[in-house]
Amino acid sequence: GNSVTQMEGPVTLSEEAFLTINCTYTATGYPSLFWYVQYPGEGLQLLLKATKADDKGSNKGFEATYRKETTSFHLEKGSVQVSDSAVYFCALSASNNQGGKLIFGQGTELSVKP
Amino acid sequence: DTEVTQTPKHLVMGMTNKKSLKCEQHMGHRAMYWYKQKAKKPPELMFVYSYEKLSINESVPSRFSPECPNSSLLNLHLHALQPEDSALYLCASSQEGGGIETQYFGPGTRLLVL
């Protein structure tokens, strides 16, 4: 079946550090890939997405490239801020997922210190 | 506009109470979802409605009863809940509810069952 694996947290960084959160997936066919962010006490917000191989999603300084050859969708940001502290979820949607189900990774908690 | 709204934001209820959660979207989406989320875990799918018909019930106990009065509105009726049902309840919507789609989430209702 389809699955998503992302690096475990928590990840603690200093402000302005470089961020990478690894995400790899297993899926048949050509899934779409997503990063969602959940700030403390809030719901999930769509951060970025990519719908086909080699697509790069980007938003708010975050980027992720859909790599079919390595089945990966790693999240990166060049310089994190305290306000980026949140839980980040990698997810996929595939045509063989019943009812358009999203398959989530376990989430990675990011804490950015000033 | 990619807004999904949920009310109430917080809810405290006893095990004998009956309450309802409400979700609304005005994006013209025809699929709506209920998820349950425990702290720092990924959301777990509960129900999917597509074109106002229940298409997925992930073996959710009958003390949770979903209702979709129209394509913009989704309710979750709660009765005789248990303390372990305390969680963040998230609503989401997408274009149609099949295949590969982007889901947009609301801010959630934080439920505490005493």
B69 CA to chain A: closest CA distance, Å? 20
Angstrom distances, CA of residue A94 to CA of A32, A63, A111, B43, B55 = 6, 21, 31, 17, 17
* Dihedrals phi, psi of B59, to nearest 5 degrees: 55, 45
Query: How does residue B83 score in pLDDT terms, banded at 50, 70 and 90?
Result: very high
Check residue B100 and give its pLDDT: 82
B94–A34 CB contact, under 8 Å: no
Residue A43, number of CB atoms within 10 A of its CB: 23
CB contacts, 8 Å: A107 with chain B: 40-42
Q: Are A48 and A58 in contact (CB under 8 A)?
A: yes
A104–B40 CB contact, under 8 Å: no
In the predicted model, residues of chain A with pLDDT beneath 70 are 97-99
Query: Could you check whether the bond before residue B8 is cis, i.e. omega within 30 degrees of 0?
Result: yes
| Averaged pLDDT, B43-62 | 93
Structure confidence by residue, pLDDT tens digits, B101-110: 899 999 999 9
User: A-contacting residues of B 39-98, CB under 8 Å?
Assistant: 40-43, 45, 48, 50, 55-56, 88, 90, 92, 94, 96-98
CA distance B63 to B58: 13
Residue of B nearest to A30 (CA): B100
Chain A contact present for B38, CB below 8 A: no
Check residue B99 and give its pLDDT: 72
| Averaged pLDDT, B82-108 | 92
B101–A107 CB contact, under 8 Å: no
Query: How does residue B2 score in pLDDT terms, banded at 50, 70 and 90?
Result: low
Check residue B96 and give its pLDDT: 82
